[in-house]
């Protein structure tokens, strides 16, 4: 039985399967430093090896033009270091894969993503799919605190526990104001799907008398 996991962190994530669609959504992360006027002064791509230098160069030039309302400390404009999640739409039919930016989000930068055991209820149910949304406060140490799991009614308890236990094992780079770490908020959407890949039984069914 094949197991698949897609992760989307609102500040995260990633890996979307496009199948036969003309376009698909994905996301990439940057570590960014904004100055006291809200302009980008430093920008470092995360997981650079996963894309081509040309891709990063083009995307970087566009993100560098972004501006945010200046962050303040004690009433004075301050520098702000944060993770920047860039939501993208990629068209498959374009020669080089045309990429459109669909949104920018500021959040603590995920630097270590761990998943704690595939849920037993999902693992043993071919064709099952479901999702949970996990929110937490990212501490100045980069850990998740006050974790809240939200899901539709009827979601197996093992899936809820999976979401909570996984986020407890994640590590983040906390946001910084004037070089000092501050608490932030992370929102993670976990979508699970257990493929039905069991071999078919072609034997003649038994007769029942």
Residue 170 CB partners (closer than 8 Å, separation 6+) = 110, 112, 113, 114, 144, 188
The string of pLDDT tens digits covering residues 93-128 is: 655 557 889 999 999 999 999 998 888 877 777 888
Give start and end residues of each alpha helix (H) in 23-96. Answer: 53-63
- Please report, for the chain, the start and end positions of each structural domain, with discontinuous segments joined by +: 3-194
87 and 144 in contact (C-beta within 8 Å)? no
Reduced to 3 states (helix: H, G, I; strand: E, B; else coil), residue 14 is strand
167 and 147 in contact (C-beta within 8 Å)? yes
* pTM exceeding 0.85: no
The string of pLDDT tens digits covering residues 47-63 is: 999 988 988 998 999 99
Q: Which fold has domain 3-194?
A: TolA/TonB C-terminal domain (3.30.2420)
């Amino acid at each position: 039985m094949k197991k698949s996991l897609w992760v989307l962190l609102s500040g995260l994530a990633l890996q979307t399967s496009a199948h036969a669609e003309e376009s698909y959504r994905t996301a990439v992360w940057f570590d960014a430093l904004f100055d006291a006027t809200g302009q980008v002064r430093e920008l470092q791509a995360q997981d650079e090896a996963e894309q081509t230098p040309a891709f990063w160069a083009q995307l970087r030039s566009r993100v560098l033009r972004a501006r945010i309302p200046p962050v303040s400390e004690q009433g004075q404009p301050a520098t702000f270091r944060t993770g920047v999640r860039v939501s993208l739409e990629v068209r498959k039919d374009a020669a080089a894969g045309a990429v459109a930016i669909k949104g920018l989000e500021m959040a603590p930068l995920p630097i270590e993503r761990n998943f704690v055991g595939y849920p037993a209820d999902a693992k043993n149910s071919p064709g099952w799919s479901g999702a949970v949304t996990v929110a937490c406060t990212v501490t100045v140490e980069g850990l998740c605190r006050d974790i809240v799991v939200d899901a539709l009614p009827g979601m197996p308890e093992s899936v809820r526990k999976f979401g909570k236990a996984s986020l407890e094992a994640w590590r983040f780079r906390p946001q910084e104001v004037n070089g000092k770490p501050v608490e932030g908020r992370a929102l993670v959407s976990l979508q699970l799907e257990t493929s039905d890949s069991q071999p078919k039984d072609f034997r003649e069914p038994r007769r029942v008398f």
